Amino acid sequence: MRVKDQNKVVNIENFVAKNSTAKSPIQLLIKAIARTVNQHKVDYDQLRYVFKAVRHQCELEAPSRGQKLYELPTEDEMIRFYDVIENPVHRLIFEFLDGSGLRVDELCNLEVVRIDFKNNSVFVKEGKGRKDRVTLIGNRLLEKVCLYLAGRNNRYLFESNRNTRFTTRRIEQLCKLYKERAGIERDLTPHTFRHQWNTRLAEGGLSREGREILAGHSKGSSVQDIYTHLGVGGMKAEVIAILDKKSQVSR
């Protein structure tokens, strides 16, 4: 949040004491939001969007944070993680995160029609920053997806038994559940799989530019730029080879 008066001293103890009462502005705001959420049946993703829009309109800025170095799970830990997953759909969800580099919300919103099975490509519609991009998946993962979709009539790639798409919250819950069952103590979230994917591409020799394009980090790229890079630079064959060679071990 912007600080307009650098000389103003905030007494944290008084602030906490003031806002711990039932009639404090913070508590009243929480109750008002809760009533609105229940009244209009707002889901988790919609509520996240609302708060993001409010922060933007109020010009609120998140405090800067130091860059965090991620400590990735070991191969043994990932084998244990997959070993405790008995539900094949849940297993494929994490294999897809691991093999595509998608953010968890991008996976939840991924429609089957956005997957080009002939070219091993996935079109991400309005990812982070509302940017479109194309990424790639390996042949092994593609085969598993084809087997999974056989006989299904999904709109979204991953849908629950009620024919509704998985939510980010649900996938986060599943990740935490299987992490605990596997006895993994280090941090492991759905976003960890994106870091693993990026690391494998780097270790496989893919250029930084190529990784940024596929991950959606390239600021100046457009969809046309991506297709051109895939065709001219030969990145498609290189990426598929890396992903198939380094595909996550899952028994």
* Residues designated catalytic: 103, 128, 191, 194, 217, 227
* Contact (Cβ atoms closer than 8 angstroms) between residue 116 and residue 136: no
How many Å is the maximal CA-CA distance in the chain?
66
CA 133/CA 222 separation, integer angstroms: 7
CA 176/CA 184 separation, integer angstroms: 10
Amino acid of residue 46? Q
Which residues does 111 contact at the CB level (< 8 Å), separation at least 6? 125, 155, 156, 157
* Contact (Cβ atoms closer than 8 angstroms) between residue 142 and residue 96: no
Which residues does 187 contact at the CB level (< 8 Å), separation at least 6? 70, 71
Residue-wise DSSP of 119-186: TTEEEESS-GGG--EEEE--HHHHHHHHHHHTT---SBSSB-TTS-BPPHHHHHHHHHHHHHHTT--S
Q: Tell me 70's DSSP state.
A: P
